[in-house]
Amino acid sequence: MILYELDAINEQYFSPYTWRILMALNHKELYEKVERIQVKFSDKSPISHKGFNTVPVLEDNKNWVGESLQIAKYLDETYPDKPSLFSSKENMHLTSLINLYMDPKILSILARIIVFDVYKVIQPDDKIYFRATREKMLNKTLEEVEQESKKFIPIFQKEINPFRKLLKNNDFFTGDKPTYCDYLLFGFFMWARNSSKKQLLEKDDVLWHWRDRMLNLFDGFARKSNGYKIV
């Protein structure tokens, strides 16, 4: 099984969507079978010959699957004897809805906080492409975005409020065990952790404690990855 992800300096792999799948592969007890291959923003030839333009992409027994949510569904359908990522069909549909709702909003707020930090950890060859595409996306230079980045931290904190409510009686979003719903938001936190030193959560936040539990999962898999320690 091969997982294609984005390259980074110092192995600070940050792609939020790939992080969802890294957690999902651990959850499915399949991570040991996976070879990780890094793709450059400026050279996507390892995946583009199969029609893909974004990572993650999973190659498994001649099956090529793109889009993180599709990969998660594929893993659950293909390996039903392993722990389920969604626990039921109903949960899968609800999680898909949450995914589609949250991605554009949270991505755009968080990008305004960390995009300049991400720029610093991408490979030198990728900088021209990254600057051009992200400045177009954000309609500002990366330096201008960085200047007002701190202003977006409280906005980000407010945007994820619904998730706090889910933790009122549970350790994870859908109960006492993590499911793909947890990996959705956690992927964004790993994007930040592995590229940026900015503090996104306060220590008295239930989400701070949830993120800590997530970092501990699978023998500290995410915590062991190269990034900036969350203190």
Judged on CB neighbours under 10 Å (0-12, 13-18, 19+), 203 is exposed
CB of 178 closer than 8 Å to CB of 27:
yes
Per CB under 6 A, the segment of 51-59, 138-146, 175-183, 202-210 that binds ligand GSH is: 51-59
- Of the pair 31, 41, the CB lying nearest ligand GSH is at 41
Helix extents (H) in 59-88: 68-78
Pairwise CA distance, residues 225 & 10, whole Å: 10
At closest approach, how far in Å is the CB of 214 from ligand GSH?
18
User: What CA–CA distance (Å, rounded) separates 109 from 113?
Assistant: 7
Residue 31 lies near ligand GSH (rule: CB under 6 A): no
CB-nearer residue toward ligand GSH: 178 or 187:
187
Using CB under 6 A as the binding rule, whether residue 17 contacts ligand GSH is answered as yes
Determine if 54 is a binding residue for ligand GSH (CB under 6 A): yes
CB of 81 to ligand GSH, least distance (A): 25
Biggest distance spanned by C-alpha atoms of the chain: 50
- Which stretches of the chain bind ligand GSH, using CB under 6 A? 6, 15-17, 41, 54-56, 67-69, 133
